[in-house]
Structure 1
């Protein structure tokens, strides 16, 4: 069931993140470091605003909407109305304050409107994608995950190409406008297909308390987890300025998003299966499913991170604009390691906490991780510059992940899939050895050939180690859920 569901979600997990990865590289050729820094700060701000004001509701619906009866769904509808209204008001106020802080003056109304529409539409695309996942509307989920990043890239790139022929040049405001347009189109397509019954009725107090107990710790945890991944840009801005953010963000974002992209290929369908098992009273099987989900995650994430680190130099030289190259070469390997650890914790170690509704435990670990990050990034930035800030973030997420895995296994009873992990580790090592033996690479053909070679070695080694399991895999792919 897990393999089949993963295949069904694959287009959504491929196209959107792939467009986001491409955008990071392509916009370095149109935006200078200062403009690129502003663009990435806008992206980071949107993610923080979503985590602060809407994510708690997304988490709650993902966990409890599948088992809700009609009366409870009506109570959820009433609360959702107020959540949407409050989210719009709070987002606008937060964005205004942040723009005033970064720009050191009150922003232009046009810039504020662009950022507000961009942030609001992107937040609701993320939230409604979770609603579509709960309803098993894979087509709607795919549209919400792909139209925004892919359409925004196409609109923005076309706009940039046209403007380059005239006296004006595209800037971060125009880039954000392109994404806002695409995200709006995806919402217009998706909303009629989802069950949304917004009505400003009086919220049910008991349900509101349940939402607060379950969702708010997760939202705070999300904001704290955001700090090492995205908040590091604000640390760099405070210490070295916005242009330094632009230089730092290319390598950092590529490493982070590449790992997130690999993780999302196999995580969309995983947790709902464990939830269904737990709802049927099969807690032990649900924990075993989480372990299997984690093994599948590692099977994709480990070789992706290893390959990106080994091929970071030729990839950066080919893809990244010259002003960003030196910083990208130093940051990308560290960012990839940090992204690897961050996604292992988010999509593997944290899953038993969600299943057991121990969101307060997750919050406590996130507080510790954030404190360590702030100290490590500040000290690293002061002593080693931009690479030091990256190493500080890596150290913080590593400690948080180690603690999360320890509690998930020892306190919450998740089994570790050691046999699977050993096979995956051996296959990753074989791939790394093959790539290390290659001569220096130059040109896209050589780089793509190296990727193909590494993938072939990894797949062949993994297939050999699982040679006794192929019959069971074919049966799982043909099974209907």
Structure 2
């Protein structure tokens, strides 16, 4: 197996096992929480994600881009010192923002939720920085183990705190505690590596990282808008219950596909960067072609299979009070996730490889504007389904804009014939699953039987097209 394949497989385990644990958590939480409480949790966690993106994302992106270039220990010390300074600066800014929010917020219940959210923000931000260092150094096993431990403890703490009477704040606190515990068990050496080198802070490195990373901050901030702003609009126009119903469906659909696509990207993109730095453009393009084909071969059939067996998956995982709404929404969110996944994990890489990351801003600004305008005008008309349409249209706009603009910066290879064969194979498999499922009475048996059968059908069609799935 190639290095790309080994790394992607380990990342797949490292993201896939936590993904299964998160499905278990979703199943449990939708049976223990009302839609209103889940909606409150979803909004709080979305806010943590937004602040994490705006304040800390530039650090992670700079690490991934620059750490492979620094081979001398003196340069690495200065890099880590600059990262430590960036973390403390971002942490201080987040504290100021939260104190300002607490000063104007009269609701005591929301104030306690914000305290927990701030703790979660700091712990998640450091955890993700530490993981980015592991990823840049190709320490894939340690990366995977850390993720699996964190997800396991988050579920255990979450169930315990919910039974103790905590609600939305209990889930946030569970994630924060699990992150702290995992950091202490697995990532202490990363913490020492970063913070002991604070005295080697290099102003030139720091400014270079800012210049490279800030466009990502703006980009991911805009991405957050067209990914998650719909929850805020739904909450404002329709209330917490509808927010919770929408968030559960969105989270199930998004996690199912996003975990896999993220795992593949985690294993493959660092190899493309190293190929470009060490061997030049041709080597990088060969690696990028392999990356895209691998992403297509796994994400496409998973998406079409999920859309075909949507009802069976929902009945297995989601609590009864959330299930009916989820079945209506999930196929569209799966399709949207597929589109934005290829934007993020392929076309956006042209901006990074070409070192013109500021251009990433334009596709997401366009998509964010489309999303906001559609949400404002159609949520009150179509309800939750209006948010689904807004999301789908904005994802499509972002994908097309990124594909067109990124090729002007770095001409990413596009193996069109192989991509078309994979798409056709996936669509045929999905159609056959959809037609066959009504012939089996038991919904659970349908899923148990048709999922492996669909996989075999897909692999067989690929073979007819002379594409080897197991390469």
Instruction: Give the TM-score taking structure 1 as reference length.
Output: 0.90
Identify if the C-alpha distance between structure 1 residues 200 and 280 changes in structure 2 by more than 3 Å, giving closer, same or farther.
closer
User: How far off is 1:232 after superposition?
Assistant: 1.8
Unaligned runs of 5+ in 2: none
User: In the alignment, what sits opposite 2:344?
Assistant: 346
Question: Aligned to 2:174, which of 173, 178, 182?
Answer: 178
Question: Aligned to 1:211, which of 190, 194, 209?
Answer: 209
Question: Aligned to 1:312, which of 310, 313, 316?
Answer: 310
Identify if the C-alpha distance between structure 1 residues 136 and 213 changes in structure 2 by more than 3 Å, giving closer, same or farther.
same
Identify if the C-alpha distance between structure 1 residues 149 and 467 changes in structure 2 by more than 3 Å, giving closer, same or farther.
closer
User: How far off is 1:410 after superposition?
Assistant: 5.3
Contact 2:24 2:317 (C-alpha < 8 Å) held by counterparts: no
Question: Aligned to 1:296, which of 275, 278, 294?
Answer: 294
Comparing 366-375 and 236-245, the one that deviates more? 236-245
User: In the alignment, what sits opposite 2:80?
Assistant: 77
Distance (Å, rounded) in 2 between the aligned partners of 1:332 and 1:192: 39
Matched, 1:190 2:186: yes
Contact 1:40 1:249 (C-alpha < 8 Å) held by counterparts: yes
User: In the alignment, what sits opposite 2:397?
Assistant: 399
User: In the alignment, what sits opposite 2:66?
Assistant: 64
Question: Aligned to 1:376, which of 357, 374, 377?
Answer: 374
Identify if the C-alpha distance between structure 1 residues 97 and 344 changes in structure 2 by more than 3 Å, giving closer, same or farther.
farther
3-state SS of 1:280 partner: helix
Identify if the C-alpha distance between structure 1 residues 339 and 412 changes in structure 2 by more than 3 Å, giving closer, same or farther.
same
User: How far off is 1:375 after superposition?
Assistant: 0.9
User: How far off is 1:179 after superposition?
Assistant: 1.8
User: How far off is 1:295 after superposition?
Assistant: 1.7
Distance (Å, rounded) in 1 between the aligned partners of 2:312 and 2:232: 29
Question: Aligned to 2:11, which of 3, 9, 12?
Answer: 9
Matches within 5 A, 1:441-480: 442-466=442-466, 473=471
Runs of 4+ in 1 over 4 A off after TM superposition: 95-101, 106-110, 467-470
User: In the alignment, what sits opposite 1:256?
Assistant: 254
Matched, 1:437 2:440: no
User: In the alignment, what sits opposite 2:46?
Assistant: 44
Contact 2:351 2:409 (C-alpha < 8 Å) held by counterparts: no
Deviations along 1:191-223, whole A, 9 cap, x unmatched? 233333434447433222211221000111111
Matched, 1:86 2:89: yes
Identify if the C-alpha distance between structure 1 residues 169 and 468 changes in structure 2 by more than 3 Å, giving closer, same or farther.
closer
User: In the alignment, what sits opposite 1:150?
Assistant: 152
Contact 2:336 2:391 (C-alpha < 8 Å) held by counterparts: yes
User: In the alignment, what sits opposite 2:320?
Assistant: 322
Deviations along 1:98-146, whole A, 9 cap, x unmatched? 6788x76355665443222222222222221111111222232113322
Contact 1:126 1:144 (C-alpha < 8 Å) held by counterparts: no
Deviations along 1:142-201, whole A, 9 cap, x unmatched? 1332222222112322454xx3xxxx6441122222222211111002223333343444
Comparing 74-83 and 357-366, the one that deviates more? 74-83
Deviations along 1:414-461, whole A, 9 cap, x unmatched? 121113212212321231132022143533222221212212211222
Aligned residues: 464
Contact 2:265 2:345 (C-alpha < 8 Å) held by counterparts: yes
User: In the alignment, what sits opposite 1:130?
Assistant: 132
Distance (Å, rounded) in 2 between the aligned partners of 1:58 and 1:22: 29
Question: Aligned to 1:237, which of 213, 235, 238?
Answer: 235
Deviations along 1:245-285, whole A, 9 cap, x unmatched? 11111111111121201202311111111111111241132
Question: Aligned to 2:35, which of 33, 36, 40?
Answer: 33
Distance (Å, rounded) in 2 between the aligned partners of 1:124 and 1:2: 27
Contact 2:462 2:468 (C-alpha < 8 Å) held by counterparts: no
User: How far off is 1:305 after superposition?
Assistant: 1.2
Identify if the C-alpha distance between structure 1 residues 153 and 397 changes in structure 2 by more than 3 Å, giving closer, same or farther.
same
User: How far off is 1:333 after superposition?
Assistant: 1.4
Unaligned runs of 5+ in 1: 474-481
3-state SS of 1:357 partner: coil
Matches within 5 A, 1:221-232: 221-232=219-230
Matched, 1:362 2:365: no
User: In the alignment, what sits opposite 1:477?
Assistant: none
Contact 2:18 2:148 (C-alpha < 8 Å) held by counterparts: yes
Deviations along 1:380-411, whole A, 9 cap, x unmatched? 21221111111111101101101211233455
Deviations along 1:264-312, whole A, 9 cap, x unmatched? 2311111111111111241132123223211211111111111111111
